Structure 1
Amino acid sequence: MFNNYAKSELELMVGSNEKILWKGKPNKRCFILEGIFNPMLPFALAWFLFDSLFIATFIGGAATSGAPAVFSIFPLIFFLIHLMPVWIYLGGVIFVFRRYQHTEYIVTDKGVYISGGLFSYTCNMKPFTELARVNIHRGIIDQIIGVGDVVLTSNNIADYYNSDVRVNGRPVGTGFGITISDIKDYRKVFELIKKLQEDIYTDTMYPNALRPEENPGYRTKYNGLN
């Protein structure tokens, strides 16, 4: 099903004993809009308006005082540095296309793979055995465009400190889990992951009393989707 084209970098990280059940990327339109209208926008806008008042006052005062232009250079450099939150926001918007290129999602019969990054490339894999809950989240832009997020919550506290993978400033590898963001078939992916998580978790919790005395190891193949 997925063997008729060149494999992406994320696909190459999938184990040879794993079967890819779904793969995709975020909706480009939604991804770009969320990159523009991200939580930092109000802060950056307020910061810019605040600094603009001082810059306008300074330029007006310098023009009326007749001071040499050289005395205006250092204050302007200060304001350019002071506008750093604005530059950070604009940088995030400018490089949104590069983040989109690095963002990809894969669901296998073992777990979920998510890639991301701006200048670097990061892959995060979460086995189904570590997932506690699966939820759907749809923001305002998601609802307008008709996409959604599948939020996978982990019971592993170590995930709280893993902040390598981010999408539009939002961590998709933190908060005790990972998120598949801005996908069209979010309901289908939600049902798929929910079934896989429940079936595989139930299998790992199989009572020891019902297991054979000799076990060569976990080599079973998942056939729940057949």
Structure 2
Amino acid sequence: MSQTVGSRLEGRIALVTGASRGIGAAVAKRFAAEGAHVILTARTVGGLEEVDDAIFKATGRNATLVPLNLQEFDKIDQLGYSVYQRFGKLDILVGNAGALETLGPVAQYDPKLWQRVMDVNVTANFRLIRSFDRLLRTSDAGRAIFVTSAAAGQPYPYWCPYAASKAALEMMVKTYAMEIAASPLRVNLIDPGVVNSKLRTQAFPGEDPKSLTQPEQVTGRFVDLAETACTQHGEIVAAQ
């Protein structure tokens, strides 16, 4: 895993969801530093603008900002069409946005919160695949990366919605990878591990964030999976 910044993504078009903070913002900045033009989506306009400012300061180039609520699924289709009109292809898709909401027993969980977790962690990524599959295939070396969690493979009390959503995400992405195995498109999942993020703070509010791995420290593995030289496919890759 390389953390050295170079030009490994020069000229590539990359879309990153959940890009206004945390891992998404760090990946966006790293991809831009590696030469990619990044399309950034998130609900928070101010956060997107801050990331864009940082990218411009570091590279002299602006990102493309798309304020987007991933639960508005039809807008994902509209985004796909907009990317097609402007760029004609997509080289890299990073499905990073995730929702935890609250922890609690299955029998007492709020159905609205359950639905939001499933919408963001599973259905939005399905809609991204559906909307961008053809554009990724148009690339000479399309790459799709989806962020998962160790929670998908091991039940923990009170974590059911999040864990179930990540397990569903893994099954969906692995199935998709099998279906497109004959194409140049390479699709993988990445488990960033324990990283300082808003989601981590929600789950463990008393934890010292300085004691955790910082988002910038896991971006190397994202670059590994995004570059044209990547041969991994249908795998769950650990970032740490």
Higher strand residue share: 1
TM superposition score category, shorter chain reference: under 0.3
